[in-house]
Structure 1
Amino acid sequence: MDRPNDVDSTNMITEMPIDAAETVEMVEAVEDAEKPLYIRCHNFTKLSAIIQLLNLKKGNEMYSSTYEVKKAFKAMGSGNEYTDLAACPTYGKSRWKVDEQKNKIYNNIPAKCLWYFPIIPRFKRLSQSKTTTKDLTWNATERKVDVGVLSHPANSPAWAAIDDKYPDLACEPRNLRLGISADGVDMNRGNRSHSVWSVLTVIYNLPPWLCMKRKFIMLSLLISGTPGNNIDVFLAPFIDNLQLLFDFGVATYDAYAQEHFKLHAVVLWTINDYPTLGTLSGCPYNDFQGYAVCGEETQCIRLSESNKQGYAGHRRFLPYGHPSRRQKKEFNGQQEFSPSPEPMNGEEIYNRNVGESLTRTVLNVPEKTKDGYKARLDLVHCGLKPELHPQIEGNNTTLPAAGCTLTKEEKDKLCETLYNLKVPQSKEIIVDELDKLQEELCVTLCLLEKHFPPSFSNVMIHLNVHLTREVKLCGPIFFRWMYPFERFMKVIKGYVRNKNRPEGCIAEENVTEETIEFFSQFLKRMVTVGIPPDNHNNCGIHKSVDSSSIADSTPVSAAKSVEVFAELFNKAHFFVLQNTSEVLLYIKNGVKRDKLGYTLVELKRLGHKGDPFILASQAQQVFYVTDLLDQKMSIVFKTPPKNYKDTYEDVDE
């Protein structure tokens, strides 16, 4: 395709016509010259696209009708083979709603609505692209293996366990490892709330900078309404395809190796929010055994005044000799010497956010805080912390200040810190550090249990005690959290043009986008759908980049050559002398440590204004958080390491 013609609207009108109607038409033409062809289109305007089409010569190979375009799409595997059926091809049940009492069939009113996008032809289509097929073997051919480091699911014990149990699956690196996510999205049909459930599939064979990108997240199922306990009925065709891929495989052509092979696939895990996990696994998520891993060993108490469950007992996860195990008054009035519960395995199990609860409580948000009047009555009922019991004087009831109660000034400082805090995402996990992290996490949960009322410790708080175990088994958490899937659901929600038929809009747009994306891989100068543009120099969209490339001649960002003169050389020499161990003892550089061991720096102190150098050993990425107790100082936090260079920023597309 030729490059778009740039239309200069500023030179289109040199003299306005006298006739008013002609004037309006000319103004509209100018607006068309500046109006993008579609949302986020940067290459074409409405007028430039028309000019491109008019430039086409007679006898061109363009499709002459929408019907021909749909035929081409169907050839790519995007048709619907069950469009005209009136009964289920498997069970023979009527497609339409049936009133059994009146023995009446309501034609054109479906009994249940499900949109299934078969995954097998889409997996086979991935192998038709040489670049994508090469990326699908990254885990076996280019992945850097560091003992004791988790940077990709392929490094995890879960991946290794499947390889050990199914060696035939492991011997072919092109066999797919999948993750499945299910969740609902509210479409809001005018005044009515309407939920649509989506089941998404992600492929973990890809490099870490690609596998969670929108292009490789596949919409597999679309369910109208909330499926509830009948979700197994809707999942049936999806499960059948997964079973076929696991047991028998399908013949597939590898465009990169130019050979046929048998493609198999296996599901590593499912990714859901906690209520959805209860729906999929058949386990209750809000009763006395509300956490599937602990099962009968879950410590839960019923808070009659708050009408909810409280999940405590986090002292069981501390080291046996920890001082908190012997404390009584600060917890439930008893010492705790029980061991931590053994996690239930897969045969024993059929199968909001902590920060939100914490901030709402310390900021005392009305009707959202966990430290309200009913929470204090729970303390009375349990006989805990009498100093915090409600004080009734006549018609007035006063709640004594708790340890988590903040003054207005402290609330302002907390909000300012959270507003300005930008924490980088970790890309690499050192396995030996996880045990220490687990101990620190358990201490934190015990401190929350000590200073907050029992109603604060809901099941979402309790989940954190098991996060370290999941990281040990499955690898970095950002490969399994809900954020990429929630961003994808935001995208498909934007597909809806007709709120009375949201599922149909999503289905049609999704099929169209996938087909266009497949065609775009064979065309030049086409922007890839679902992968953000590369912001670094000389980093192609599909270039495999590992940690070694950071040290090569390719700059991470824009760079330029600098000629070193004598003055600059002397500054470099002086800097090296300043950083010798003998001299560092006598230099005051505005850096200090607080009693908790954090490094504090005074950023406004220009002690090195004329010094542009650092030693290579000092080059480390950090981020700063203002110390609100002394706003001249900033707290230094080190950026977590990552084992590769992520060339694509994680942005909403």
Structure 2
Amino acid sequence: MDPADTKKKIRIPCPCVKCVNHICHSVDVVDDHLFRNGIDQTYTNWNKHGETEEPPRSYVYEHNFDMDTSNVVDSTNMNTEMPTDAAKTIEMVEAIEENFIGNPDKFRELIEDAEKPLYTGCLNFTKLSAIIQLLNLKKGNEMYNSTYEAKKAFKAMGSGYTKIHACVNNCILYRKEYIDLVVCPTCGKSRWKVDEQKNKIYNNIPAKCLWYFPIIPRFKCLFQSKTTAKDLTWHTTERMVDVGVLSHLADSPAWAAIDDKYPDFASEPRNLRLGISADGVDVNRGNRSHSVWPVLTVIYNLPPWLCMKRKFIMLSLLISGTPGNDIDVFLAPLIDDLQLLFDFGVETYDAYAQEHFKLRAVVLWTINDYPALGTLSGCPYNDFQGCVVCGEETHCIRLPESNKQSYAGHRRFLPYDHPFRRQKKAFNGQQEFSPSPEPMNGEEIYNMVKFIINKWGKVNKGKEAEIQQATSGRGGNMNKKRENHTNWNVGESLTGTVLNVPGKTKDGYKARLDLVHYGLKPELHPQIEGNNTTLPAAGCTLTKEEKDKFCETLYNLRVPQGKEIIVDELDKLQEELCVTLCLLEKHFPPSFFDVMIHLTVHLTREVKLCGPIFFRWMYPFERMDTVGIPPDNHNNCGIDKGVDSSSITDGTPISAAKSVEVSAEL
């Protein structure tokens, strides 16, 4: 026989990067594939081409870097991520390889299904093996016959949800007195989905929905576990009380205020203290019309090491779309249950105490980022009254060039005899003798809003209704424009400005023009020489050596890990914080002081009232959101579009220019 014919008839597995030994070809085709595609680099033991099986070798790459080896994974255990039945499933698929000679793509797909875990972290089944196991189940088994029956079983266990139809314009929920309506009584829109192009109504397909996961059955289920029922009374039975120390929310004045005002509630340690968190999740990468708002509930009766665990953070509501100022409409089912729990309570069995008792609950506070706080509390968060604590006494000026508000003016939080209050040139050119603003109490807030008439919905709002919402504090002008999330926290603003990070620095060309507008710090005004514009180096401008030292300091920074707060030290901390903010005002432009920077002045007050802050931050709730929010598009270093950036010399806030010498007067 001609060797050339033999070469054409013999079919061998092709080890190229596309076939990866899953498809057999003639020797010539394999040779061509290897030349065009290259060989699969992971194919080191040629067991498909006659080489005997050998145990895989572990290669150690030497390097000159010092590294911590405590987290290094043993190479002998690297295959533990593959499900246990993957090898048998792959072997079964390879046995029928000849059936797919004409359809190699389908064979490759089966191999991938045989290797892919059923879900992330699954160690027992692959996608294909799970299907095979289900097919092997004989008829007459006790499994549910449909997804509907399985959902009913979960609902009986307290894991179900209620689907509530909503008006497409957020006017009402179709519940209670509106449950049988098919048209919104406020805006006249149909309850059902409408195709306006075809002028067709899809009956029984709601235009908008709210998913409510009832909290009362789940609260009652917590007490069915003896361990959990015992943990829910930890704050009374096992907590160590240390006077002057805040280690748990039960040590805080906010907790004590509930006990003092409602002694009958405090008499039962099993009554629940709750926190409510709400924030938007963008599920379509930048398209706000496809966002959802989950509302989560956290229980504070538990020990500190359990409070913020995912196990005890409950999804209560899932709102379709962005509710905006009309979020009150969607919170109604949750509020009804919370009101029932607080006013009357529900009969609950305690498995640990082996007795029935009346379970009640109270909400201590909400947990949100700042824009969501403005939505929930009805306060503006980015206007001249953007601070929810200072309220009408917020110190705010408009920066015309940067087109933003500046919340500088922290000297009024200093002691009355502090020397910074009498300085002019270093700050805004004026002395400051105003007292610090006094936060309003609950009675004052109620008296301010008690006569407001709210009108929910996006449409059919006359001018009177808009004025009522704007003056009521329901987000100010939020009903007229959309605001992006403020992704700039204090750390980003500070490091971005000091290190002059493009796109994150707050000391740019527009910031210097604002100084010109207000006649402040003339030594920092832009200098125009012909076609070139130079920004003199500010006091916060660092040289390359100084930037390296700054980064090294941050890298080596170690902070205390304790979670106890000494109350007597908070006053000293507040004074140091106010002095730090004033020092920043000396050397940073007004554009640096957005509302996030200003809010730090109220942190110690919040800790005094509510206890350790890790019980109230957003991180545990944001970790539950699997969809990231794309970053905002910011102006490049604040340079005006009308100014050629190339004409600004490399010597400005981000330049290697010499630092400006600060006079003794400053």
- TM-score using structure 1 length: 0.68
SS of structure 1 residue aligned to 2:304: coil
- CA shift in 2, pair 1:283/1:425, >3 Å: same
Deviation of 1:195 (Å):
1.7
1:169 counterpart = 2:169: no
What is the alpha-carbon distance in structure 1 between the residues aligned to residue 234 and residue 518 of structure 2? 56
Letter paired with 2:98: A
**1:264-302 alpha-carbon deviations (Å, 9 max, x no partner):** 000101111111111112211122221121122222222
Corresponding residue to 2:341 among 224, 233, 245:
245
Shift of 1:478: 0.6
Alignment correspondent of 2:177:
90
CA contact (8 A) 1:373 1:390 kept: yes
Q: Does 1:123 align with 2:219?
A: yes
Correspondence for 1:322 among 401, 418, 425: 418
Letter in 1 for 2:541: T
Structure 1 counterpart of 2:492, which letter?
E
Give structure 2 stretches of 5+ with no counterpart: 1-81, 167-172, 193-200, 450-487, 630-666
**Correspondence list, 1:220-619, <5 A:** 220-349=316-445, 352-418=488-554, 421=557, 423=559, 425-490=561-626
Q: Shift in Å at residue 88 of structure 1?
A: 3.2
Give the superposition deviation at 1:408: 3.1
Cα distance between partner residues in 2 of 1:414 and 1:87? 58
Work out the CA distance in 2 between the residues paired with 1:54 and 1:92.
43
Aligned position for 1:559: none
In the TM superposition, what whole-angstrom CA distance separates every residue of 1:144-165 from its partner, at most 9, and x where no partner exists? 1111111111111100110011
AA aligned opposite 1:146: D
Equivalent position SS for 2:316? strand
Matched AA of 1:375:
A
Question: Which SS does the other structure have where 1:179 is aligned?
Answer: strand
Q: 8 Å contact 1:149–1:429 — kept in the other structure? A: yes
Alignment of 1:146-165 (within 5 A): 146-165=242-261
Residues 127-185 of structure 1: CA deviation (Å, up to 9, x unaligned) = 12222111111111111111111111111110011001100110101100000111101
CA contact (8 A) 1:88 1:94 kept: no
SS at match of 1:358: helix
Q: Distance in 1 between matches of 2:620 and 2:383?
A: 30
SS of 1:489's equivalent in the other structure is coil
Q: Tell me, what secondary structure is at the counterpart of 1:90?
A: helix
- Given residue 21 of structure 1, which amino acid in structure 2 is its aligned partner? N
Moved more, 324-333 or 214-223: 324-333
Q: Distance in 2 between matches of 1:459 and 1:368?
A: 16
* Residue-by-residue CA offset, 1:193-236 (whole Å, 9 max, x unaligned): 62211111100001111111111111111111111111111111
What is aligned with 2:661?
A: none
From 2, 17, 21, the counterpart of 2:99: 21
Q: What amino acid maps onto 2:441 in structure 1? A: N
**Is the contact between residue 493 and residue 506 of structure 2 (CA under 8 Å) also seen in structure 1?**
yes
Q: How far apart, in 1, do the equivalents of 2:96 and 2:206 lie?
A: 59
**Range moving further from structure 2, 56-65 or 70-79:** 56-65
The alpha carbon displacement at 1:431 in A equals 1.1
Query: Which residue number in structure 2 is paired with residue 519 of structure 1?
Result: none
What stretches of structure 1 of length at least 5 have no aligned partner?
494-653
Deviates more, 1:94-103 or 1:108-117: 94-103
Q: Does 1:72 align with 2:166?
A: no
Q: Distance in 2 between matches of 1:93 and 1:54?
A: 43
Cα distance between partner residues in 2 of 1:279 and 1:58 = 54
Q: Secondary structure in 2 aligned to 1:122?
A: helix
Distance, in Å, in 2 between the alignment partners of 1:5 and 1:298 is 59
What are the Cα deviations for residues 464-490 of structure 1, in whole angstroms up to 9, with x where unaligned?
Answer: 000000001100111001111111122
In 1: Cα distance, 2:247 partner to 2:91 partner: 59
Aligned counterparts of 1:18 and 1:36: Cα–Cα separation in 2: 21
Q: Distance in 1 between matches of 2:146 and 2:191?
A: 40
Note the alpha carbon deviations across 1:248-274, whole angstroms, 9 max, x for none. 111111111111110100010111111
Q: Structure 1 pair 343/26, CA: closer, same or farther in 2 (3 Å)?
A: closer
Higher alpha-carbon deviation: 386-395 or 341-350: 341-350
- Structure 1 pair 103–156 and aligned structure 2 pair: CA distance change class (3 A): closer
Contact 2:272 2:300 in 1 (8 A): yes
Q: CA deviation at 1:27?
A: 9.2
Contact 1:127/1:133, CA 8 A, preserved across alignment: yes
How many angstroms apart in 1 are the aligned matches of 2:557 and 2:518? 38
Deviations 1:295-318 (A, max 9, x none): 222222222222222112211222
1:67-107 Cα distance to aligned partner (Å, 9 max, x none) = 44233223223445667999533334635679978999733
Give yes or no for the alignment of 1:141 onto 2:222: no
Query: Structure 2 vs 1, CA of residues 128 and 303 (structure 1 numbering), >3 Å: closer, same or farther?
Result: same
Q: How many angstroms apart in 2 are the aligned matches of 1:91 and 1:360? A: 52
Deviation larger for 425-434 or 165-174? 425-434
Amino acid at match of 1:40: G
Structure 2 match to 1:40: 121
Tell me, yes or no, if the aligned pair for 1:333 and 1:384 is still in contact at 8 Å: yes
Matched-pair identity in %:
80
Check conservation: 1:292, 1:349, Cα contact below 8 A. Answer: no
Partner secondary structure for residue 292 of structure 1: coil
Over aligned residue pairs, what C-alpha RMSD do you find?
3.5
Q: Are residues 96 and 422 of structure 1, via their aligned partners in 2, closer, same or farther at CA, if it must alter by over 3 Å?
A: farther
- Partners of 1:392 and 1:448 in 2: CA distance: 27
Residue identity opposite 1:66 in structure 2: T
Q: Secondary structure, in 3 states, of the residue corresponding to 2:305?
A: coil
1:195 aligns with 2:195: no
Contact 1:156–1:472 (Cα < 8 Å) also in 2: yes
Pair 1:447–1:257, CA change in 2 (3 A) = same
AA in 2 matched with 1:244 = L
Of 300, 313, 329, the match for 1:204: 300
Contact residue 5 and residue 48 of structure 1 kept, 8 A: no
